[in-house]
Amino acid sequence: MLSKSSKYAIKAVLFLALNSNDKKKVMVKDISEPINVPQAYIAKLLQKLSRQNIISSSRGRKGGFYLSDNNRKQSIMSIIEVIDGEKNFNSCMLSLKECDEDKPCPLHKTLYPFKSNIIRNLESISIKELALEVELGNAFLPL
Amino acid sequence: MLSKSSKYAIKAVLFLALNSNDKKKVMVKDISEPINVPQAYIAKLLQKLSRQNIISSSRGRKGGFYLSDNNRKQSIMSIIEVIDGEKNFNSCMLSLKECDEDKPCPLHKTLYPFKSNIIRNLESISIKELALEVELGNAFLPL
DNA sequence: ACTAAAATATGATAAAAATCATTTTTAGGA
DNA sequence: TCCTAAAAATGATTTTTATCATATTTTAGT
């Protein structure tokens, strides 16, 4: 469903949402350790997200990654799109090229409604909202 | 979501549902071509399915793959389980080891209901039922 | 029995995804 | 200005997934 990379990225962004702001930057090694993802690997993902303005970064001394207020307004889907390139979600369950309401694959009718709801949710939930759930103790981010 | 292998396998099984029975066996090359999957590759998948009694086969002259009446009663999920090994579906959206109702990951609450419905559907739809949809012209199996 | 046609088994190769290592650029502080 | 700490860039390696190739067994027909 989600690639490992997307999962890592979401975890890292949530970690940043909870532990950073424009005054308080966090460097990769202090992100990679608590979320339990190899440092060099998460660094690459963060750079990609930063280039697409999903997260912010500054380099050099006192540098690090962080989330601005604007960053926090982005949807969870935007993270996935940057990392996985949206292909995964929008494609047919059986990977038939031509699969839509008119010419649905055998699984389309039963599964598409659910899938489409998942997509809609991921598009509508913002980083900020999701982080709030963790702050309120309604959700957890272990390992 | 589904691995390429699972998708191939489902297509092949549906093809067999539509084009074979215990009197009419089909050999790999006559399956691989219409469903557009490399012959040697689909052969491996079919062998795996055959070993787990999802489909039937007989070798030697006049041999081939086919679906018995019992085979057709199997669920679509059973195909996926044989090929992918069920890991993919039952795991948390963020791959956290500990993620359940008590200690949900941030995406659990919003997405689990949909995912769980998808799983339930795949478990309840039989091969026969899905093939019927294609026969009735309600669903298509192109490419 | 023999042969040819089929699945089955095994292992090799290729492609993609994930991980690791090294170098370069940038910016703050002495 | 120069040193150092950080991200950014680049590219190499490993692992997993997908694909290909070859040999082995089984079975029907002669």
pLDDT in tens, A71-96: 999 999 999 999 988 666 667 888 88
| Cα separation, A108 vs A93, whole angstroms | 7
* pTM, to two decimals: 0.91
What pLDDT sits at residue B104? 92
**Under a CB-based contact definition with an 8 Å cutoff, are residues B8 and A96 in contact?**
no
What pLDDT sits at residue B95? 81
What tens digit of pLDDT does each residue of B106-129 get?
999 888 899 899 999 999 999 999
How much is the average pLDDT of B67-93? 87
| Cα separation, A111 vs A106, whole angstroms | 9
Residue B99 binned pLDDT confidence (cut-offs 50, 70, 90): confident
pLDDT > 70? residue B27: yes
> Is residue B65 within a helix (H) or strand (E), and if so which, with residue range?
strand B64-66
Domains assigned to chain A: 4-88+126-135 (1.10.10.10)
Is pLDDT larger for residue B89 or for residue A24? A24
- Please tell me which of the candidates B1, B97, B143 has its beta carbon nearest to residue A143: B97
Which residues in chain B touch residue A88, judged by CB atoms under 8 angstroms apart? 1
Is B93 an interface residue toward A (CB < 8 Å)?
yes
| Cα separation, A49 vs A56, whole angstroms | 8
Give chain B's mean pLDDT.
Answer: 91
pLDDT > 90? residue B86: no
Residue B118, judged by CB atoms within 10 A of its CB (0-12, 13-18, 19+), counts as buried
Distance from CA of B60 to the nearest CA of A (A): 32
What pLDDT sits at residue B43? 95
Sign of CA dihedral A118, A122, A125, A127: positive
Query: Any bridge partners for residue A56, and if so which?
Result: A66
| Cα separation, A38 vs B12, whole angstroms | 39
Q: Do B121 and A141 touch (CB under 8 A)?
A: no
Q: Do A115 and B117 touch (CB under 8 A)?
A: no
Lowest mean pLDDT among A38-52, A85-99, B35-49, B61-75: A85-99
Residues 74-93 of A with CB under 7 A from strand C: none
Q: Do B93 and A1 touch (CB under 8 A)?
A: yes
What pLDDT sits at residue A94? 86
Q: Do A7 and B117 touch (CB under 8 A)?
A: no
- The first and second tokens of residue B110, run together, are 């919003």
pLDDT > 90? residue B45: yes
Backbone angles phi, psi at B37, to 5 degrees: -130, 135
* pLDDT tens for each residue of chain A, 143 residues long: 788 999 999 999 999 999 999 999 999 999 999 998 999 999 999 999 999 999 999 999 889 999 999 999 999 999 999 998 866 666 788 888 788 888 899 999 888 899 899 999 999 999 999 999 999 999 998 66
Tally of residues, chain A: 143
Three-state SS string over chain A comes to: CCCHHHHHHHHHHHHHHHHCECCECECHHHHHHHHCCCHHHHHHHHHHHHHCCCCEEECCCCCEEECCHHHHCCEHHHHHHHHHCCHHHHCCCCCCCCCCCCCCCCCHHHHHHHHHHHHHHHHHCEHHHHHHHHHCCCCCCCC
Nucleotides of C under 7 A from a protein CB: 4-11, 17-22, 25-29
Q: Which of A94, A87, A88, A11 is nearest to A46 (CA)?
A: A11
Residue position matching structure tokens 């930057």: A25
